[in-house]
């Protein structure tokens, strides 16, 4: 879906007179984006409040420092990655969330190009929705256990299926040497994340993933929704 939401207004509709004299709020215009981009490329990140003051005086960017920072981090930063959350990313988010909880910024550090806001939105709109559909409290131990013991293995299964379909369409190519799931996460998604607490996943699950996830994190660009109707039926059979 091509959606700019509150994030981008057409610059042909300028703010009204009252807003001209005050700090602006709401959607950013293309002109504002350009001003911020130019300023950051010239002066670098950080010191957002002084940036806002300076830019407000000199180039007419009437935004708070907080607003500038948020716009830069979530939208304008050159390494921001857009598009669907891939199956591998879904798996990683589930895994990390089970260990870290709602520490979105920490989770985001393990997914290059993804912002904490994006991951948070993904969790709230997709994961919580399906938890509700299955009548689970998303904060319960029961839900966490099911994510680890049922949903994550299912995701791995789907990754495997996707891989097989992928390889049927492409000439075979050698994979990197096999490594564990956790190793693959640590090495494929730079920058290197801080050490995680010991995995709570059953050993069978961890070993299950070994050769399947390793070496393929960057291959599959196009994700799909986490749970289809078939998935939910399948899960219900497992319970």
Tell me if 131 sits within 8 A of 143, measured CB to CB.
Answer: yes
Which residues, 6+ apart, have CB-to-CB distance to 199 below 8 Å? 95, 99, 182, 206
C-beta of 153: minimal distance to DNA in Å? 23
Which residue's CB is nearer to DNA, number 5 or number 198? 5
Tell me if 190 sits within 8 A of 112, measured CB to CB.
Answer: yes
Q: Which residues bind DNA (CB under 7 A)?
A: 1-8, 24-28, 46-51, 65-67, 69-71, 74-75, 102-106, 116-118, 120-122, 124-126, 129, 225
C-beta of 90: minimal distance to DNA in Å? 12
Phi and psi (nearest 5°) for 84?
-65, 150
Residue entry with tokens 């009252």: 18
C-beta of 185: minimal distance to DNA in Å? 19
Which residue's CB is nearer to DNA, number 96 or number 214? 96
Which residue's CB is nearer to DNA, number 3 or number 230? 3
Which residues, 6+ apart, have CB-to-CB distance to 158 below 8 Å? 87
Which residue's CB is nearer to DNA, number 100 or number 179? 100
Which pair of structure tokens corresponds to residue 231? 């998935």
C-beta of 239: minimal distance to DNA in Å? 22
């Amino acid at each position: 879906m091509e959606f700019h939401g509150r994030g981008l207004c057409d610059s042909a509709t300028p703010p009204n007179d009252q807003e001209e004299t005050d700090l602006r709020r709401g959607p950013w215009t293309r002109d504002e984006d350009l001003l911020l981009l130019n300023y950051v490329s010239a002066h670098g990140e950080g010191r957002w409040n002084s940036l806002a003051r300076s830019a407000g005086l000199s180039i007419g960017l009437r935004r708070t420092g907080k607003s500038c920072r948020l716009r830069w981090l979530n939208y304008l930063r050159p390494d921001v990655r857009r598009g669907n959350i891939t199956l591998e990313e879904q798996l990683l988010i589930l895994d990390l969330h089970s260990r870290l909880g709602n520490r979105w910024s920490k989770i985001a550090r393990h997914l290059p190009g993804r912002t904490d806001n994006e991951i948070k939105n993904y969790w709230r709109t997709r994961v919580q929705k399906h938890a509700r559909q299955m009548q689970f409290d998303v904060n319960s131990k029961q839900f966490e256990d099911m994510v680890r013991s049922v949903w994550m293995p299912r995701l791995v299964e789907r990754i495997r299926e996707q891989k097989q379909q992928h390889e049927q369409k492409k000439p075979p190519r050698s994979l990197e040497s096999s490594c564990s799931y956790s190793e693959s996460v640590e090495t494929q998604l730079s920058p290197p994340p801080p050490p995680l607490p010991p995995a709570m996943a059953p050993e069978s699950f961890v070993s299950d993933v070994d050769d399947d996830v390793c070496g393929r994190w960057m291959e599959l660009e196009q994700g799909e929704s986490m749970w289809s109707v078939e998935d939910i039926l399948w899960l219900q059979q497992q319970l």
